Amino acid sequence: MTSDIPRPPDHMSPEEFRRNGHAMIDWVANYLQTADDFPVFSQVEPGEVAAMIPDAASEAGEPFEALLRDLDDVVMPGITHWQSPNWFAYFPANTSPPSILAELASAGLGVQGMLWSTSPAATEIESKVLDWLVDMMELPQSWKSTGPGGGVIQMSASDSTHAVLVVARHRNRERGHAEDMVVYASTQAHSSVAKGCTVAGIGHVREIAVDDTWAMRPDALRKAVEADLADGLLPIAVVSVVGTTGTTAVDPVSGIADVASEHNLWHHVDAAYAGNAMVCEEFRHHIKGVDRVDSYTFNPHKWMMVNFDCNVLWVADRVPLIETLSVLPPYLVNKATESGAVIDYRDWHVPLGRRFRALKLWWVIRSYGISGIQALIRSHVVLAGSLADRIVSDDRFDLFAPHPFGLVCFTHRGGNDTTSALADALNNSGKVAVTPSTLDGTAYIRVVVGQARTTSHHVDELWNLIDALAPSVSR
Amino acid sequence: MTSDIPRPPDHMSPEEFRRNGHAMIDWVANYLQTADDFPVFSQVEPGEVAAMIPDAASEAGEPFEALLRDLDDVVMPGITHWQSPNWFAYFPANTSPPSILAELASAGLGVQGMLWSTSPAATEIESKVLDWLVDMMELPQSWKSTGPGGGVIQMSASDSTHAVLVVARHRNRERGHAEDMVVYASTQAHSSVAKGCTVAGIGHVREIAVDDTWAMRPDALRKAVEADLADGLLPIAVVSVVGTTGTTAVDPVSGIADVASEHNLWHHVDAAYAGNAMVCEEFRHHIKGVDRVDSYTFNPHKWMMVNFDCNVLWVADRVPLIETLSVLPPYLVNKATESGAVIDYRDWHVPLGRRFRALKLWWVIRSYGISGIQALIRSHVVLAGSLADRIVSDDRFDLFAPHPFGLVCFTHRGGNDTTSALADALNNSGKVAVTPSTLDGTAYIRVVVGQARTTSHHVDELWNLIDALAPSVSR
């Protein structure tokens, strides 16, 4: 070979990587200790971060020190601190030290687990750890990889819900047009159901009425299905939500399973947030009937200290999923696949490529143990209860909904404007993040106790802030 | 607050994270230096990794040392080494030191960039760096975030192709049923086109004939569209591939754009692998006509040293994409979104949540500079050319297709069985990884020079191995 072959600059040798890597670890360790000190919501104005970045890439490379400097100067002002223990907004998106290190290992290995053969460890650890979770949460044994079902890690619950809606549509394709198909979910279901139907080209989403706990009414579901059948439409699927985004309402899985069974609907359970609580026995009554559903999804990246992205989808029967999503071009043919003895996860979702995400789930479960994860969930639920108690005993506030898990919803008796102003004042303080929302015309405040480092101290401080910022009610 | 609140074990304090993190960095640094020493394809049998893992999670947590030990003992035997410089299989999935460190930083920050407001830096850096790439690759200026179009990072080209097929279906929904819609791509297009159509519920995928370079024939496309129109079907989209997976054939974008324009088809370009080469001026003739397409995707995670996942999708007009994919529930309403002054990337793809993936793309471009990335691409293309020269001048082999980028396809003159046996022998040696494939009944071997650390030394060794393992041809 000649020596005139252009060579890329030998940027960051393994030895330089080692030195820069130690600096990066120190930076992250420092962040884990100081995340509490930043305003929780980023305070920048639109365009402010972009304005600090040159308009064009540079011809020459830059040293790592420049990147680290800009991490502090350019990136940090534009960060909203999901990892602050004062994070009470949306649902949490927890990370944890072992999860961070697993992401580092995964990025270093740089494998692509589309097929079993392209890294058997990525596939086999994924199947094994999802089997662990079945036992940890007392889910149906048939969902294990050794049974007719199976689990797969996807990017988000939206992806999983979309995927099963596609399967439901696909298996009914001989019955009529997608535009005439109907999917059912409560008025409180996550936006991913409507979005999933739009993306899948399913014509109708019926919002089913809820009871006074915001949970779906199976009788209303049955009536809606019957009405659609009478109109010549094609009911294909129902989504039960265990822990709605608005108020963590719990749809009655068993009652919905009755209707699903009567009408041969694919029954999907979206337990994105609350599914994590099933690691504790005392919450499992919320998913009674789960042995009769077709698919179930939850997000370890919400409340199990596994950093985003790590969503789990289980199906009771893997055949319709794989039949819908499998394509095998000649360049992916290989002996292991042909043997039928392995799982090729590319057939379980829309994308072909996949990162080695099972590593972080495995490391987090091993690091904390079942008891550690249970303790995390229980501490948050107790703390949420203590906050709810203080809200109930204060004559300025009303609880807006039951709080079966870590979410507390409340209103100010001064009405919508006062409630919204209180939410804004809390967020503008920079000291906490909460989520203002509305339901049936009522403004309320969502407070989720769920960040991995949140303790009674942070909840006390949150309450003190609410107490200080909320006006009294004139009588 | 009382002290009886259950507390999770305080596993891995920031100080322990610092210590364990340094050990993890050293492990990765060591791997970067020794990846060459492992058999490239994992040698385990199905079930071998799983058998080393207990059947149930443990109640108590384990120390980090146990995880690191199992990384060597359980994980490594099941790793297929995509980061080996002897990786010549599939297309590459490169990582690089700055990309690994950016993943670490991103995991540490643990932000979720679904909305601008949930971390403005994640959104603004993404837009800015994708604008950089438009200039770096001389793509249409209108694709910049400041124009009518825009770019977004997705997980994989499969996701991007699926998303634009959904948009094409959605914007034609008043014209007829999805089952009657037709999407066109060459016989050589990636499986993601057929899979995307299945997932999107689009009824027909037409495989268009190719010329003797395996590139789509626009005249055959036009005839197919006209035939479908005559049959009362609804042509909605065409996918041009720049660099097919089989042989890196290049569809004539400009000629296909003529047909797309005549028949109002959404024109999507899949340049997943070869798109990276457009950072070098001399390859841009391959995308002549790109200023007339509707969408374009490429994967920095293939050939730009940004680790998986990092796919880029650009659209010439962002309105139909956002109109199809936007859903705004009350808990996501916020002032920045309402102002219209910001991008909320959740409206640009199927999932809601998203990691801060732009950080690694930014860090890699800054670390290597435009010149460094150009040098990488050029060195690989020159090395591929040198391998092709040796194949051509050896009477045992024939080149199977042109090699415009880093992929060389060849056959053994002994026929299909001999070619397949040679591919197996190469892979079974453990010294290299190549991909056996077939096209129109001919078995051939795909060799991609594209791993970031591959140099002339590794290509020489590959050639020596081919030379040693290939039988001579009887005459």
Domains and CATH numbers, chain A: 14-83 (1.20.1340.10), 111-355 (3.40.640.10), 369-469 (3.90.1150.10)
A positions 107-166 inside 8 Å of B (CB): 107-112, 116-122, 124-125, 127-128, 131-133, 135-136, 155-159, 162, 166
The nearest CA of chain B is from the CA of A4 a distance in Å of 9
The predicted pLDDT at position B5 comes to: 66
DSSP string, A134-162: HHHTT--GGGSTTSS-EEEEES-HHHHHH
* pTM beyond 0.95, yes or no: yes
Per-residue pLDDT band at A6 (split at 50, 70, 90): low
| Interface mutation target, options B33, B34, B37, B53, chain A, most CBs of A under 10 Å | B53
- Predicted local confidence at residue B330, as pLDDT: 79
Q: What distance in Å separates the CA atoms of residue B97 and residue B279, rounded to the nearest whole number? A: 21
Tens digit of each residue's pLDDT (9 = 90 or more) over A10-31: 678 889 999 999 999 999 999 9
- Give yes or no for B75 touching A (CB within 8 A): yes
B368 near A9, Cβ under 8 Å? Answer: yes
Burial-class residue A175 by CB neighbours within 10 Å (0-12, 13-18, 19+): exposed
The whole-angstrom separation of Cα A271 and Cα A242 is 5
Which residue's structure tokens are 């058999």?
Answer: B39
d(CA A186, CA A439): 13
Q: Do residue A7 and residue B379 have CB atoms under 8 angstroms apart?
A: yes
**Portion 350-409 of A in contact with B at CB < 8 A:** 350-355, 359, 363, 365-376, 378-379, 382-383, 386
Q: Which of B42, B59, B62 sits opposite A119 (nearest CB)?
A: B42
Q: By CA distance, what is A446's nearest residue in B?
A: B331
Nearest CA to CA, how far is A465 from chain B (Å)? 16
Q: What dihedral do alpha carbons B403, B408, B411, B417 form, nearest 10°?
A: -140
Beta strand B442-448 with B407-412 is antiparallel
Contacts of B262 (CB under 8 A, 6+ apart): B222
Question: Can you tell me the distance from the alpha carbon of A194 to that of A205, in angstroms, rounded to the nearest whole number?
Answer: 6
Q: How far is B292 from chain A (nearest CA, A)?
A: 24
pLDDT of residue B190: 93
- Side by side, the strands of the sheet bearing A311-315 are A150-154, A311-315, A295-298, A266-270, A234-241, A181-186, A204-208
- DSSP string computed for B403-425: -SSSEEEEEETT-HHHHHHHHHH
What pLDDT does residue B329 have? 80
Hey, which residues does A238 pair with through a beta bridge? A184, A267
Closest to A133 in 3D by CA, of A364, A452, A354, A455: A364
Top residue of B4, B12, B303, B461 to mutate, by most chain A CBs within 10 Å, is B12
Average pLDDT, integer, range A172-183: 97
Which residue among B17, B82, B179 sits closest to A177, beta carbon to beta carbon?
B179
Cis amide bond preceding B347, omega within 30: no
Residue B6's pLDDT is what?
A: 64
The two tokens of residue A97 are 């030290």
| Residue of A236, A192, A243 whose CA lies nearest to A216 | A243
For each of chain B's 475 residues, which pLDDT tens digit applies? Answer: 445 666 666 678 889 999 999 999 999 999 999 988 999 999 999 999 999 999 999 999 999 999 999 999 999 999 999 999 999 999 999 999 999 999 999 999 999 999 999 999 999 999 999 999 999 999 999 999 999 999 999 999 999 999 999 999 999 999 999 999 999 999 999 999 999 999 999 999 999 999 999 999 999 999 999 999 999 999 999 999 999 999 999 999 999 999 999 999 999 999 999 999 999 999 999 999 999 999 999 999 999 999 999 999 999 999 999 999 998 787 778 888 888 889 999 999 999 999 999 999 999 999 999 999 999 999 999 999 999 999 999 999 999 999 999 999 999 999 999 999 999 999 999 999 999 999 999 999 999 999 999 999 999 999 999 999 999 987 5
At A339 the pLDDT is: 81
In the predicted structure, residue A320 carries a pLDDT above the cut 70: yes
Bridge partners for B313 per DSSP: B152, B297
Hey, which residues 423-452 in chain B have their CB within 8 Å of chain A? Answer: 435, 437-439, 446, 452
Q: pLDDT for B143-198, tens place per residue?
A: 999 999 999 999 999 999 999 999 999 999 999 999 999 999 999 999 999 999 99
Angle, CA of A365, A451 and A381, to the nearest 5°: 85
Which of B331, B449, B457, B460 to mutate to probe the A interface, most A CBs <10 Å? Answer: B331
Of A56, A156, A339, the CB nearest to B351: A156
Q: What is the DSSP letter of B148?
A: S
Burial-class residue B26 by CB neighbours within 10 Å (0-12, 13-18, 19+). middle
- Whether the ipTM is more than 0.90: the answer is yes
Q: Do A49 and B121 touch (CB under 8 A)?
A: yes
Q: Which residue of A has its CA nearest to B82?
A: A111
Contact (CB<8Å) B64/A367: yes
Q: Does pLDDT of A80 surpass 90?
A: yes
- Asked if B413 has any chain A CB less than 8 Å from its own CB, the reply is no
Residue-wise DSSP of B373-397: HHHHHHHHHHHHHHHHHHHHTSTTE
User: What is the model's pLDDT at position B332?
Assistant: 78
Measure the CA–CA gap between A191 and B228, rounded to whole angstroms: 36
- A110 to chain B: nearest residue by CA? B95
Q: Which residue has the higher pLDDT, A335 or B269?
A: B269
| Most B CBs within 10 Å, among A2, A24, A273, A427, to test the B interface | A24
Q: What is the pLDDT of residues B236-290, one digit of tens each?
A: 999 999 999 999 999 999 999 999 999 999 999 999 999 999 999 999 999 999 9
- From chain B, pick out residues whose CB is under 8 angstroms from the CB of A67: 98, 363, 366-367
- Tokens 């990335």 locate to B373
Looking at residue A422, its pLDDT comes to 98
Give residue-wise pLDDT tens across range A250-286: 999 999 999 999 999 999 999 999 999 999 999 999 9
- Distance from C-alpha of A168 to C-alpha of A260, rounded to nearest angstrom: 12
Q: How confident is the model at residue A475 (pLDDT cuts 50, 70, 90)?
A: low
- pLDDT at position A1 is 43
Give the residue ranges of DSSP H helices in B8-88: 14-34, 64-70
Average pLDDT over chain A reads 95
